[in-house]
Structures are given as C-alpha cells and as structure tokens.
Amino acid sequence: MTPLHVIGEFVRNLFLRVPMGAARALFLALPIALLVWVMLRKPDADEPASLSRRLKIWAAAALVIQIVIYCLL
C-alpha cells in the first residue's frame, strides 16, 4: 500500500464514525442558516429597496425548495 492509500483509509474510517443523524442535521442546518441570514439581511444603502425585496423572495424560495428536497431524501 502506498502512503496515499493509508491516508485515504484513515479519512474514510473517520467519516464512517460520524452518525448519519448528525450528518443529516448538518446538511440541513446549512441551508436553514442561509435562509435565516437572507431573510434578516438589510438592503444596501445604494441598492433599490424593491430590487432587494424581489431578490430576497426568490432566494428564500430557492432555499425552501432545497430544504424540502433534502428533507425528503
């Protein structure tokens, strides 16, 4: 075995120790945290408020769709 095989096997064994529930929670926590950040973000001073609202709505919709899909998987 080469040193890369040893390193790869070590990393693989580390990842196998992570419980599936914890991995799923972290996988869902990231888009949820991003959704909260998008919803709480204030528009920039030089940015039109209507543009910021539209972008916020579509970004939130995309994140909600992602979250729903990830929950179903």
pLDDT of residue 25: 92
**How far apart, in whole angstroms, are the C-alpha atoms of residue 27 and residue 68?**
12
pTM for the whole structure: 0.72
- In the chain, the amino acid numbered 5 is H
Q: Can you give the residue ranges of every domain in the chain?
A: 20-72
Picking from 41, 46, 68, the residue whose alpha carbon sits closest to that of residue 57 is 41
Alpha helices in 1-73 (DSSP H): 3-16, 20-40, 49-72
What's the whole-number average pLDDT of the chain?
A: 92
pLDDT of residue 45: 81
- Tell me how far the alpha carbon of residue 58 is from its chain's centroid: 16
Rounded average pLDDT over 32-54: 88
Q: Is 19 left (phi over 0), alpha (psi -120 to 50) or beta?
A: beta
